[in-house]
Amino acid sequence: MSRHCIDMGSCRQFVVAVLLTLAVVCPARAEDDPFVQPVAFLKAPEFDEPSAAATPGDDNIIYRLVHRLIPEGDRGPPPPCDITDPGPDTANFPNSPLTLPKGRSYIETIPGTYSLAGPDGTPASWSCPFMMRTGLTDNCEFRIISQGPTVVGAAADSPAVDGFAPLTFDLKLHLWGEKDQLYMPIVGLEVFVVTGLASEPFDVGTEPGIVLLVDHKLPGDWVIEWNLGLYGTGGSGIPDVLSLPDLGVQWAVQKQVTENIAVFYQGFYNGAGIPYFPSDLVSGLGMQWNLSQRLAVYTSYNWSLDGVGSPSGGYSGFAYAY
């Protein structure tokens, strides 16, 4: 027999002896000892780890992330993605006081936003506003909002400009009231800060704001919705100075025509709350159509009531629940 074979046999005998010694000294199973836990117990849960419950299509990564960062007791299976719960905020001018369920999210955008040039020299403009919103709890949602890519036409004393409008970070709180209660107002509060994260022509600095949100549900599937807020508007040349807040109001009267189609009459005073329509007093007509449980589309046409700023304009957009 060669020396190589003798060495291999000695190695096998040594390994067997070590394994037998460990088997005698160490417990057979770690779980038999209450003070010893398997290594897997120490592993942090993955954000994208599947839910134990069978929830196809509704248990997404953002839902799991929110529930791991803000844990609470067993809530049961995730609620379904639903574009009607609570509904898009960008379909009409005012925002609803209702909030998304914890972990559920919407993305809303209105890329077809256009306002005509005004007789007073107000230039025509186009923008693509968007909003991303996620429920942190059942009564509080976090939102990122922007007027998005924006093009403003040339005016008598200024050239045309384009760029990206400021990002706004926003929290909406549902204070009280339920969607199905008649007459009793549903009340919410929105607090936000406009940041300096914008292209230079649109940078107004850091500006805070606060808005009261109210809904009134009436018989016959009618809803009256209104917002009253203070908006910091900034100004050219003073991006580092807080401006005096401007009072702004938005309102809408909405009728649910069918299960999936609603029409509304809307308006606002002071464009600080609706920056993509440069005018002071505006009203308009629009509609919303829920194409599926997750997707809604909407459009409106609006006109100035006081002849200041843009005489008219419209928008079209969609919202998707996930």
> Which residues contact residue 265 at a Cβ distance below 8 angstroms, ignoring those fewer than 6 apart?
252, 253, 283, 284, 285
> Of 113, 108, 107, 111, whose CA–CA distance to 90 is shortest?
108
- Tell me, what's the pLDDT at 73? 81
pLDDT confidence of residue 43 = 38
Domain count of the fold of the chain: 1
When comparing pLDDT for 19 and 103, which is higher? 103
pLDDT tens for residues 148-204?
999 999 987 889 999 999 999 999 999 999 988 898 999 999 999 999 999 999 998
pLDDT for 9 equals 53
What is the average pLDDT across 205-219? 95
More confident residue, 12 or 179: 179
pLDDT in tens, 58-103: 679 999 999 999 998 878 888 899 999 999 999 999 999 999 999 9
Inform me whether the pLDDT recorded for 273 exceeds 90.
Answer: no
User: What average pLDDT does the structure give for the chain?
Assistant: 84
d(Cα 222, Cα 216) in Å, to the nearest integer? Answer: 9
pLDDT given for residue 10 in this prediction: 55
67 assigned to some structural domain: yes
Question: Which uninterrupted H or E stretch holds 267?
Answer: strand 261-269
The verdict on residue 39 lying in a domain is no
Model-level pTM?
Answer: 0.81
pLDDT tens digits for 301-320? 999 999 889 999 999 999 99
User: Which of 198-202, 235-239, 250-254 bottoms out in mean pLDDT, i.e. has the lowest?
Assistant: 235-239
The secondary element (H helix, E strand) that includes residue 5 is helix 3-25
pLDDT of 254 over the 70 cut: yes
pLDDT of residue 8: 47
Beta-sheet strands, E only, within 116-260: 125-127, 130-137, 140-146, 149-152, 161-164, 167-176, 186-194, 207-218, 222-231, 246-256
Give me the residue label for tokens 């007509």. 285
User: pLDDT band for position 13 (50/70/90)?
Assistant: low
Structure confidence at residue 32 as a pLDDT band (50, 70, 90): very low
Per the model's pLDDT, the better-predicted residue between 231 and 54 turns out to be: 231
Q: Is residue 20 part of a domain?
A: no
Beta carbons within 8 Å of 225's beta carbon, 6+ residues apart: 92, 94, 96, 214, 215, 216, 251, 252, 253, 254
User: Comparing 40 with 126, which gets the higher pLDDT?
Assistant: 126
Asked which of 78-92, 110-124, 225-239 is least confident by mean pLDDT, the reply is 225-239
pLDDT at 234: 66
State which residues form the domain around 151. Answer: 61-321
Location of structure tokens 């050239």:
159
249 pLDDT above the threshold of 80: yes
Question: Which CATH number do you get for residue 147?
Answer: 2.40.160.40
Rounded CA gap, 268 and 26, in Å?
A: 76
- pLDDT in the model for residue 233: 73
Distance CA 162, CA 170 (A): 24
